[in-house]
Amino acid sequence: MHKNIKIENLSIFSKDKLLVENINLEISTNKPLILLGESGSGKSLVIDALMGVLAKGLKIKGSILLDGVDLLKLSKKQRQKLWGKVITLLPQEPWRSLDPTMKVKDQVKEVRKFVYKDKILQTEQRALKELQEVKLQDFTNSYPHELSGGMCQRLTLAITHTQEGSVLLVDEPTKGLDKELCNSIVKKLNEQVNEGKLLFVITHDLQIAQNIKGTLGVMAKGKLIEYNNTDEIFNNPKNDYTKELIYAEAKYWNIEKTSIQNEKIVEVKNLSKSFGENKLFSNLSLTINKGEIVSIVGKSGSGKSSLGNIILENLHYDSGNIEKNSNYKKIQFQKIYQDPPSAFLPEQILFDGFKDLLNLHNIKEEFLHSYMEEFNLRKDLLQRKPDEISGGELQRLSIIRVLLLKPIFIFADEITSRLDPISQKEVLILVKNIVEKEGLCILLVTHDHEIAQILSHKIINLKNYKL
Amino acid sequence: MPKNKNSFYIGLSILIFLTLFSIISRLIFDYQSDQQDLMNTFSTPSFEHLLGTDQYGRDVLIRISQATQLSFVLSLGITLTALIFGVTLGILAAYKGGTTDKFLGVICDILLALPGLLLVLVFLAFSPGDFLPLYLGLSLTLWIEFFKVSRAKTKSLLVEPYVESCKSLGFGFFYILKKLIIPKLLPMIFTISTFAMSTAIIAISSLSAISVGIQPPTAELGSMIVEVLPYYEEEPMLVLLPSFVIFLIVLALQLMSKRRDYA
């Protein structure tokens, strides 16, 4: 087992840009390292450099010492030999890196078979043992598509565990997962630390950062702006960016709830919906008034999005009754999507899309510009394509797009789950303010109970409507 | 991808060359393609007959240029018909789904089970003329590919969240068609068209070679080859020239199909 990794004066640069600037980090047994920062801050490059898979054309300076041996001085072949035996990687969104045509058990077995050349019988026993440890013993003969995101995450963890490497690199372990699953992942990662592994996690998830005790580094724009004990940073952040990041967590928000008016917008009575055998919910009743924010919480796949889509008539329901206030037109019932780029036509310049929308409904262009100003968006953003601006900016644009239609009801489907904590706070507070100002109501889907508590008047937990 | 761009332009220039060849040669020489001169059979190339004459003393240059034009126009017509029907029905099947989709799918399967050339023979049996059965039979086999591809692609596009979002913002189907579906389909349709056109050209020639479809004395590349086969020993050029033209057209189309400037 290796004892420590020291990253000294590490700089990474492309032809014309410094991407990572002079970073010093240390990982040792019982002292894992968590690197926190938004996408584009350079934290993934650090992991790539450690692994030895930096993209072509990038230059690297400094040294990465594994028990005193400089990895950067080794040849490519020597470094590849470390993979799987010394350095193991838990990739982000693991369901994308699993083999979709291979059974769970076989995916674990092949590591022992090909990397360690074990006998086939041994690999079988080992695989079953590892799967038992991550509580997947009932799924040994399943395929990845039959597993949930959390189960895939546990499966990759089992695979990395069979590798017995002393260094475990983890890339965004909670990306795309429910908050409830995050805790179990933190627990699993802490177990690895206790086994004596050198753990290095990069994340933009504050909960992960806070709950894996060790050293915390905060990165922004290629620089390491704060580096200290995890508790020390969380209790006493020094850098402005770090402060902003930490106080972006929902429990620090200081906001008042919106005021409810006495006008019913949507009334749902005894609604039931199932997909085939899978009953999503039954006998669900709910009223939403003007000015009200209602949150739906529940595990992924529990039917949160379905409920909203049923109200918007994008989906049929089995039984029950839905009444909408007939003073409003259908177009005033709108939706904001989880993944902002997927809600805009790809390849279309944003302004062209907006112009078509304005022409279609005879809306004056001034409205668009005044919203842009109000939402703190630069005008030139409109000249770009959806994938060329940040998720936070695009999500604000999609809110504007909906607001232009003078909506009365907005179904907001996990609208911040793909955003970093700071953008998340900005977008949600914006949403809260428009409810107040424009006099509408919102059905908010979230997996963050804290956010639901702070923003909404009513919380619907779909768990309670299961039969 | 500059390499593929090049091959597209090479193919295009071959086609332009063939077109110019067939137009200019007919501007210069005032022969009919079936104008016989039995005193002057198998003459060698001369200023009067640039590529010589065949067994009936007909001018080979004029016959080849006319045959090229015929193949080209006929196959283009067939491809365009197949394209328009295939793509329209494909989008319709994907958009409507349900019974429409199933019904069109079944028709496709039935047609796929029949060999394409057989269809032409069936049409020949009860429709008049040389061109119509060829045109109908080949269009009827070639539209299937357009249909299947545009149906599959449209289906996968229609389930994207941005389609739902477009609809809920009040945009109609034609907006989605214009802004999303057609731009995404175009590059694929172009590639399939070039393949379909080569298939059509080869099919027309093969059919007329077995005396189905276009009949002599109309100049047609396939029948020209077969007509002079008995004289192959003396005049191999007469067999090779039309074959070479077929080869050139198909090559040009295949080269053009590689234009993948879409990602």
Average pLDDT over residues A232-243: 88
Chain A residue closest to B167 (CA)? A331
- By the 8 A CB rule, do A159 and A94 touch? no
Chain A residues with CB under 8 Å of B162 CB are: 342-346
Find the range with the poorest average confidence among A199-208, B191-200, B213-222: B213-222
Contacts of B200 (CB under 8 A, 6+ apart): B74, B75, B78, B79, B138, B142
CB contacts < 8 A, A to B, total: 43
Confidence of residue B263 (pLDDT cuts 50, 70, 90): very low
Average pLDDT over residues B203-223: 81
B162–A335: do the CB atoms touch at under 8 Å? no
Average pLDDT over residues A13-31: 87
Cβ-based interface (< 8 Å): residues of A facing B? 312, 314, 331, 334-335, 337, 339, 342-348, 356-357, 360-361, 401-402, 405
A337–B161: do the CB atoms touch at under 8 Å? yes
pLDDT for residue B246 is more than 60: yes
B165–A344: do the CB atoms touch at under 8 Å? yes
What distance in Å separates residue A331's CA from the closest CA in chain B?
Answer: 7
Segment holding A384, helix H or strand E: none
pLDDT for residue B262 is more than 70: no
- By the 8 A CB rule, do A142 and A104 touch? yes
What confidence tens digit (pLDDT) does each residue in B83-117 have? 999 999 999 999 988 899 999 999 999 888 887 77
- By the 8 A CB rule, do A52 and A232 touch? no
- By the 8 A CB rule, do B94 and B158 touch? yes
Q: Which pLDDT does position A417 carry in this prediction? A: 77
From A334, A342, A360, residue closest to B162, measured CB to CB: A342
What distance in Å separates residue A335's CA from the closest CA in chain B?
Answer: 8
Chain B residues with CB under 8 Å of A312 CB are: 168
A314–B164: do the CB atoms touch at under 8 Å? yes
Find the range with the poorest average confidence among A301-310, B13-22, B208-217: B208-217
A345–B170: do the CB atoms touch at under 8 Å? no
Angstrom CA distances, B158 to A385, A457, B87, B229, stand at 20, 36, 15, 54
Terminal CA-to-CA distance of chain A, rounded, Å? 50
From A335, A345, A360, residue closest to B168, measured CB to CB: A335
Average pLDDT over residues A105-126: 87
Segment holding A218, helix H or strand E: strand A215-220
From A337, A345, A405, residue closest to B179, measured CB to CB: A345
Confidence of residue A176 (pLDDT cuts 50, 70, 90): low
Q: Is the peptide bond before B217 cis (omega within 30 degrees of 0)?
A: yes
DSSP letter string over A38-94?
A: -TTSSHHHHHHHHHT-PPTT-EEEEEEEETTEEGGGS-HHHHHHHBTTTEEEE-SSG
pLDDT for residue B81 is more than 90: yes
Chain A residue closest to B177 (CA)? A345
Confidence of residue A146 (pLDDT cuts 50, 70, 90): confident
A342–B175: do the CB atoms touch at under 8 Å? no
Single-letter code of the amino acid located at A297: V
Chain A residues with CB under 8 Å of B166 CB are: 345
Chain B residues with CB under 8 Å of A346 CB are: 162
**Burial (0-12, 13-18, 19+ Cβ within 10 Å), A73:** exposed
From B170, B180, B183, residue closest to A331, measured CB to CB: B170
Instruction: Tell me the three-class secondary structure of A304-339, residue by residue.
Output: HHHHHHHHCCCCCCCEEEEEECCCCCHHHEEEECCC
What confidence tens digit (pLDDT) does each residue in A53-72 have? 888 888 899 999 998 889 88
B168–A343: do the CB atoms touch at under 8 Å? no
The interface residues of chain B toward chain A in range 151-190, judged by CB-CB distance below 8 A, are: 160-162, 164-166, 168-171, 175, 179-180, 183
Average pLDDT over chain A reads 86
CA B35 from centre of chain: 28
